[in-house]
């Protein structure tokens, strides 16, 4: 485990210049496969007698450096990268769960994740109870005999609710199920969920970590803390039919889940990250500590400014004194509250649409976490498939505008919004 600080790890972890040809930048290993020394070598790799690269769907040297770097910045024991955040979430859950299993999840989730849990996984016999995460006891109350995971976002997108991770972790420990935290919006710079009791951390690397809107990617970082031998996860203790009788927990101990994600999750579902995208995402990760600081500063200043504007009915940003999550933000996000701000214009739904259609620096985009500022009206776009009740529990009101505040000059961002307000 690295003893270096986060900003240093973000630049150096995983890249051994003595074995990578003395390169200062991480090389892109654009290859599908790796030459075996002989058939015995291949057999040893497949049977895990020796560790090494076999095929890029399973692993790749560029991806491995990204995995090691993410492990270092989140404080885990290992990581696996995927083609997208959604690929990470779907593969992560399908590697843990089977028909008949149950999840307890926060109702304030990214729209795609909400659909996976509420529509697609139930088709496979995996059900979810969604709870109001503002009361951690709701998680304990929703636990069933077949519950096998808790799933939350540390800073909900787009509700911006800051969760009391330690209190929820208390309930997951009592239920003896892994606590999975999607830390995409907060980023590892502002919050490390593992320090607050998370067993598994998930990221969409597409957002702040990649940071420049060029590449999709996702990751799972394992804290290595969960006891897979507690009787609830026989796939970890019994001989695996899917990997010639391997007993994961007996053979791999704390690293069981990381290996299962590769040997079964990536092998069978195939959501592998391209090495070129891993390289692009590594470029982003190197500057994440300075970027996220600027995103957070700009977002807080813009939120305070929005509160002063006549056209604005309400502003939601966890760093505002007026915010109901301010005390939780002080505890969990003391270094900054990231770059997402939501607000509602006094004139409601049509005005919100008009503002999103008018801004010039804020581009109308279904993404967050770009260095460039983005805007969207979720009720008419990203969240239109949800009914009004589902929209409300996801925190999406009819008038809500979501800003992903970039790192442009603050005065230009204010002027862009002022110009949009003037057309109302
Ligand atoms: C975007 C996002 C995802 C999905 O990630 P993709 O890379 O778009 O597949 C998951 N969770 C959160 C919080 C997100 O913002």
C-alpha–C-alpha distance, residues 165 and 91, integer Å: 23
Tell me how many degrees the CA angle 140-393-308 measures, rounded to the nearest 5: 120
Protein residue with its CA nearest to atom 11 in ligand 1: 110
Rg for the chain (alpha carbons), in Å?
Answer: 22
Protein residue with its CA nearest to atom 12 in ligand 1: 110
Above 80 in pLDDT, residue 118? Answer: yes
Strand, coil or helix: 126: coil
Above 90 in pLDDT, residue 209? Answer: yes
Angle between helices 275-307 and 61-74 (to 10 degrees): 40
Joined tokens for residue 206: 């597409």
Q: Which atom of ligand 1 is nearest to the CA of 369?
A: 15
**Cα-to-centroid distance, 59 and ligand 1 (Å):** 22
Q: What pLDDT is attached to residue 141? A: 98
**Cα-to-centroid distance, 277 and ligand 1 (Å):** 16
Least confident interval from 49-58, 236-245, 336-345 = 236-245
C-alpha–C-alpha distance, residues 75 and 45, integer Å: 28
C-alpha–C-alpha distance, residues 273 and 219, integer Å: 9
Q: Cα–chain-centroid distance for residue 275?
A: 20
CATH topology (fold) of 13-276: 3.40.640
pLDDT in tens, 123-179: 999 999 999 999 999 999 999 999 999 999 999 988 999 999 999 999 999 999 999
If you average pLDDT over every residue of the chain, what do you get?
A: 96
What are the φ and ψ backbone dihedral angles of 397, each rounded to 5 degrees? Answer: -90, 165
Q: What pLDDT is attached to residue 391? A: 85
Joined tokens for residue 302: 């813009």
Beta-carbon count within 10 A of 109 CB: 27
Q: Which atom of ligand 1 is nearest to the CA of 153?
A: 13
Q: List ligand 1's pocket residues with C-beta within 6 A.
A: 84-86, 110, 112-113, 153, 157, 182, 184-185, 204, 206-207, 216, 218, 368
Q: Which atom of ligand 1 is nearest to the CA of 86?
A: 9
Q: Which atom of ligand 1 is nearest to the CA of 184?
A: 13
**Cα-to-centroid distance, 196 and ligand 1 (Å):** 22
- DSSP conformational letter for 209: T
Out of 81, 110, 280, 395, give the residue to mutate to test ligand 1, the one with the largest number of ligand atoms within 8 Å of its CB. 110
**Cα-to-centroid distance, 201 and ligand 1 (Å):** 13
Out of 83, 92, 206, give the residue to mutate to test ligand 1, the one with the largest number of ligand atoms within 8 Å of its CB. 206
**Cα-to-centroid distance, 84 and ligand 1 (Å):** 8
Query: pTM of the entire structure?
Result: 0.97
Out of 90, 93, 184, 394, give the residue to mutate to test ligand 1, the one with the largest number of ligand atoms within 8 Å of its CB. 184
User: Which band of pLDDT confidence, cut at 50, 70 and 90, is reported for residue 242?
Assistant: confident
User: Which band of pLDDT confidence, cut at 50, 70 and 90, is reported for residue 20?
Assistant: confident
What are the φ and ψ backbone dihedral angles of 381, each rounded to 5 degrees? Answer: -130, -90
Q: What pLDDT is attached to residue 338? A: 98
C-alpha–C-alpha distance, residues 336 and 317, integer Å: 11
Which positions ≥6 away from 360 have C-beta within 8 Å? Answer: 416, 419
C-alpha–C-alpha distance, residues 224 and 307, integer Å: 43
Q: Does domain 290-422 have CATH number 3.90.1150.10?
A: yes
Same fold, 13-276 and 290-422: no
C-alpha–C-alpha distance, residues 9 and 115, integer Å: 35
- Considering only CA atoms, which of 171, 149, 126, 325 is closest in space to residue 220? 149
pLDDT in tens, 349-392: 999 999 999 999 999 999 999 999 999 999 988 888 878 888 88
Whether residue 417 has a cis bond before it, omega within 30° of 0: no
Protein residue with its CA nearest to atom 6 in ligand 1: 85
**Cα-to-centroid distance, 9 and ligand 1 (Å):** 24
Joined tokens for residue 389: 């009740």
Distances (CA, A) of 186 to 95, 164, 210, 266: 25, 14, 14, 26
What are the residue ranges spanned by the domains of the chain? Answer: 13-276, 290-422
Beta-carbon count within 10 A of 134 CB: 17
């Amino acid at each position: 485990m690295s003893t270096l600080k986060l900003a240093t790890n973000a630049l150096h972890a995983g890249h051994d210049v003595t074995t990578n040809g003395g390169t200062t930048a991480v090389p892109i290993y654009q290859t599908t496969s790796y030459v075996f020394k002989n058939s015995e070598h291949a057999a040893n790799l497949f049977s895990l007698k020796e560790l090494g690269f076999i095929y890029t769907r399973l692993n790749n040297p560029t991806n491995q450096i990204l995995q090691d770097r993410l492990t270092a910045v989140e404080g885990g024991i290992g990581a696996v990268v995927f083609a997208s955040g959604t690929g990470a979430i779907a593969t992560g859950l399908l590697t843990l769960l089977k028909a008949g299993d149950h999840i307890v999840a926060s109702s304030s989730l990214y729209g795609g994740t909400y659909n996976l849990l509420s529509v697609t996984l139930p088709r496979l016999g995996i059900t979810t109870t969604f709870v109001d995460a503002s009361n951690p006891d709701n998680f304990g109350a929703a636990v069933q005999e077949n519950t096998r995971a808790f799933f939350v976002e540390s800073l909900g997108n787009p509700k911006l609710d800051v969760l009391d991770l330690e209190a929820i972790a208390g309930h997951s420990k009592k239920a003896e199920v892994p606590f999975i935290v999607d830390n995409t919006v907060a980023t590892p710079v502002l919050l490390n969920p593992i320090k607050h009791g998370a067993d598994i951390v998930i990221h969409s690397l597409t957002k702040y970590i990649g940071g420049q809107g060029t590449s999709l990617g996702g990751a799972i970082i394992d804290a290595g803390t969960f006891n897979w031998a507690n009787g609830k996860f026989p796939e970890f203790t019994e001989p695996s039919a899917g990997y010639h009788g391997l007993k994961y927990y007996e053979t791999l101990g704390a690293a069981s889940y990381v290996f299962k994600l590769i040997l079964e999750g990536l092998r069978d579902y195939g959501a592998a990250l391209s090495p070129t995208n891993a390289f692009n995402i590594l470029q982003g990760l190197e500057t994440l500590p300075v970027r996220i600081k600027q995103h957070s500063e700009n977002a807080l200043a813009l939120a305070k400014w929005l509160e002063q504007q006549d056209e604005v009915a309400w502003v939601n940003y966890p760093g505002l004194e007026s915010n109901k999550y301010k005390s939780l933000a002080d505890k969990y996000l003391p270094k900054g509250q990231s770059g997402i701000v939501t607000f509602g214009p006094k004139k409601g739904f049509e005005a919100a649409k008009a503002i999103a259609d008018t801004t010039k620096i804020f581009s109308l985009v279904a993404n967050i976490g770009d260095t460039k500022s983005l805007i969207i009206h979720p009720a008419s776009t990203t969240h239109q498939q949800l009914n009004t009740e589902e929209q409300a529990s996801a925190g999406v009101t009819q008038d809500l505008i979501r800003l992903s505040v970039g790192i442009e000059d603050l005065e230009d961002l204010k002027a862009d919004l002022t110009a949009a307000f003037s057309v109302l």
